[in-house]
Structure 1
Amino acid sequence: MNVKKAIIPAAGLGTRFLPATKAMPKEMLPIVDKPTIQYIVEEAIESGVEDIIIVTGKGKRAIEDHFDHSFELEQNLLDKGKFELLSEVQKSSKLVDIHYIRQKEPKGLGHAIWCARKFIGDEPFAVLLGDDIVKAETPCLKQMIDQYNLYNASILGVQKVDETEVSRYGIVDGSKIDKRLYKVHNLVEKPKQLEAPSNLAILGRYILSPRIFDILSNQKPGAGGEIQLTDAIAELNKYETVYAYDFEGTRYDVGEKLGFIQTTLEFALKREDLRNSVLNYLEALMEKELNDSVNRN
């Protein structure tokens, strides 16, 4: 069965970006001029996904508004002849069929996925987390769908991280069976550095068997007192083979402040309309910082 449905969890409180996220969803924070969640939706579409359900929470209405038509704004741009900008504004409302469901309680990622069970039904499905943007020649999720089509089994998107960072991620204990593919033996959610079985971290992309919903229905809280998706996948692995795929491409972590700033700078430098101005500004800023440092010493 083909992977045609995707879940995008967007119910988190965004506490790392307070106070900005007090009234605005973290997923709507822009990388230059495009909300982070739009990058995720576009990757899903480019990978062949036809239906997306976004799991939201309280205060997330701006996400729905972004992917809906804005008739007053569109008419204003049309009247003023701003056709290129009009096309960009309309793009987000024409991407794909997007559905919404609310996670009524903040019980963790596993619970957010479980909330979408009726939408998915008895089909394999993708999960894309909004904290990770991946730039690749072949979209990250498409790479994983290709692996699913070969092995007909759940696939976790992974890359190697620095050993000092393993406590931030779900970590794979597995054996390599192909150039970029691992058979999963076990999964550990946010282990201490000395207890991590590897440095293969799950990075925000999954293709899962619908059997995961039966497991999530009875899943007990794990790390942080939340229903952890990693724990449920580890349980699924007892009944069905689970693989981890070391996807190609550059992954950007926009879920924390430094990564968000780095991503914004890199994306700005890749744009012809911004590159030279940003470079000139950074050079001037560095020169000023060096001068200030010399003067302080």
Structure 2
Amino acid sequence: MTKPVRKAVFPVAGLGTRFLPATKTMAKEMLPVVDKPLIQYAVEEAAAAGIEYFIFVTGRGKHVLVEHFDHAFELEQLLGARGKTEALETLRAAIPAPGTVISTRQQNPLGLGHAVWCARAFIGEDEPFAVILPDDLILSDTPAIGQLIEAHAKVGGNVVATEDVPREHTNRYGILKVQSDDGRLARADGLVEKPKPEDAPSTLSIIGRYVLDATVMDRLGSIGKGSGGEIQLTDGMAATIDDGVPFHGLRFEGTRFDCGDKVGFLKANMAFALDRPDMRDDVAAFLKDMAAGL
């Protein structure tokens, strides 16, 4: 029987250079989709899936991410005094329970695997854990990380969220070497980080949701640098396959938006606005007018 997944790691030390100058003094994870920052969507997804502890791996200038999940007493007092009850309740609802938000630092930008490894002190030796990349925003009825947790309860080991991508795009992703596939859950016996299209073992790519076996942490501490001179999370996961740890890719239900990309970010804003009953009609009318003028 697998242990419950109670902790999620959020690697949020990146600089967000693709969004300069907006991210010159602003953490990229604080960029808003409609009226919530990306990091809040990620934490709310985790909480809705039963995650109890939220571990932020931050870098310089990222203190605002932790502060976002704390009380802003002056603002709360002002909203209360002005009778803005709904806004006040919205602010307070976003704050996790005391002692559940944990922060550690990645002093050097040595890759995603290194960022995850920086959270090792907070993960038990035999404790599965989740990893959520806020840049990948997923619109779904069931939390995407919850879908992975459900699959993990059945198969154990490592379970990652996957999408089929055009073969010409395999050099942008970690790609699974598929052993068997039922159309939703694929078992892999290997991983390749950003292979050339002609070398890719499949077109099934990993995106920013993971449920990982604790042994991945040990491997990340010993594998050394890989592609791009960085410690790659895919290399750590691949090493555990060699150790006999099961590895599966789940085709999750939902629509993923790459909010590390400007076009993907704009698409996310439109999609999430259309998903809001209070905004849908106005936004849909605007989009129709814009399309008619093209």
- TM-score, shorter chain, exceeding 0.5: yes
1:9·1:109 contact (CA, 8 Å) conserved in 2? yes
In the TM superposition, residue 176 of structure 1 has moved relative to its aligned partner by 2.4
2:18 to 16, 19, 23: 16
C-alpha distance in structure 1 between counterparts of 2:41 and 2:115, whole Å: 20
Task: Give percent identity, aligned residues only.
Answer: 47
Paired residues of 2:226 and 2:235 also in contact (CA < 8 A): yes
Rounded Cα–Cα distance in structure 2 between residues aligned with 1:176 and 1:70: 50
Residues 104-115 of structure 1: pairs in structure 2 closer than 5 A: 104-115=107-118
Aligned to 1:76: 78
Aligned to 2:231: 227
User: Is contact 2:159–2:247 with CA below 8 Å preserved after alignment?
Assistant: yes
State which drifts further: 231-240 or 176-185: 176-185
**Alpha-carbon distance in 2 for matches of 1:91, 1:66:** 12
Partner of 2:106: 103
Please state how far the C-alpha of 1:177 moved relative to its aligned partner: 4.5
* CA spacing shift, 1:95–1:279, aligned 2, 3 Å: farther
* Cα distance in 2, alignment partners of residues 33 and 186 from structure 1: 40
**Aligned runs of 1:111-130 on 2, under 5 Å?**
111-122=114-125, 123-130=127-134
User: Cα distance, 1:124 vs. partner?
Assistant: 0.8
Q: Which residue of 2 aligns with 1:279?
A: 284
Q: TM-score, normalised by structure 1?
A: 0.93
String of CA shifts for 1:132-185, please: whole Å, max 9, x gaps: 112222221111111111122111111112223221111111122534111111
Q: After alignment, is 269-278 or 147-156 more displaced?
A: 269-278
1:259 aligns with 2:259: no
Q: Which residue in 2 is equivalent to 1:175?
A: 179
What corresponds to 1:208 in structure 2? 212
5+ residue gaps in structure 1? Answer: 291-297
SS of 1:237's equivalent in the other structure is: helix
Distance in 2 of aligned mates of 1:68 and 1:147: 32
Q: Residue 199 of structure 2 aligns with which residue?
A: 195
Equivalence for 1:35: 37
Measured after TM superposition, the shift of residue 216 of structure 1 is 1.0
5 Å-filtered alignment, 1:52-63, equals 52-63=54-65
What is the letter of the counterpart of residue 101 of structure 1?
T
